[in-house]
Amino acid sequence: MRNLIKLFSALLVISFAFSCEKNSDDPNPDIDNGSKDNVSTVDVFNPILGTVSGTSTLTRTDTGITVNYKSTGLNPGYAYTLWWVIWNSPGECLTPNGCGDPEDVDFFNPATEVDLLYATGLVVGNNGEGNFLAHLNAGDDSESENELMELPVVGGLHIGNVFNAEVHLVLRSHGPVIADMVVEQIGGYIGGCTDPFAFLPFSEIPDEVGECGDIEFAVHPPVK
């Protein structure tokens, strides 16, 4: 499991660095700091294909976060789940406010207080587009998968920390729909997976029944 998360972290670092370089004049060009709510829009990356495949818009309020994650080029009739990766203390990462290091130190450093939580899931239609909407209340860790990932329990997105957290979104494919397992496929990390960890994260796009793998992600830095 540690090797899987190591590769996951490394790819996040590479792509996050790319996104910051692309917007070097303004690291958060689409963040609106003029209202009580804070809205940021960033690119969605598919590191397997090396492409930008959509956008992720995150709205933060005092009580929680809401995401609208839009992706294109997905497989029609396939099941997908979207996942929150919440870094409650991004300043404790090896690269402050740029979490996810190639040696997986950030994930297994309790000081970063990272939590992985289910956001939502759906079956993609004929147009190959996914429009994912999800909300996470601060303090709610009922959808956490930290135990599965062998990470400490940290309590989700901490109350009072909504604007300081670094928020990653990860899109996971669960392969072609299985008629009697649709609810499981769109409702959990291992739903419908013959071997949930057969593919290293961001290494291959599942195309057979029972194959699962993480294929895309987006990174929302803390509000500055």
**Confidence band for 96, pLDDT divided at 50, 70 and 90:** confident
**Confidence band for 201, pLDDT divided at 50, 70 and 90:** confident
What average pLDDT does this structure show over 98-125? 91
What average pLDDT does this structure show over 209-218? 96
Question: Which is nearest to 121 in space by CA: 164, 160, 69?
Answer: 69
What average pLDDT does this structure show over 27-36? 46
pTM, to two decimals? 0.86
pLDDT in tens, 55-72: 999 999 999 999 999 999
Domain extent, residue 45, equals 2-220
Calculate what percentage of the chain has a pLDDT beyond 90: 72
Number of domains in the chain: 1
**Confidence band for 36, pLDDT divided at 50, 70 and 90:** low
CA–CA gap between residue 198 and residue 111 (Å, rounded): 30
Q: Which residues of 161-190 are buried (b: 16+ CB within 10 A; e: fewer)?
A: ebebbbbbbbbbbbbbbeeebbebbbbbbb
Yes or no: say if 124 and 75 are a contact pair by the CB < 8 Å rule.
yes
pLDDT at 15: 43
Cβ-in-10-Å burial (0-12, 13-18, 19+) of 222 comes to buried
pLDDT at 200: 84
Which range, 14-23, 169-178, 200-209, has the best average confidence (pLDDT)? 169-178
**Confidence band for 97, pLDDT divided at 50, 70 and 90:** confident
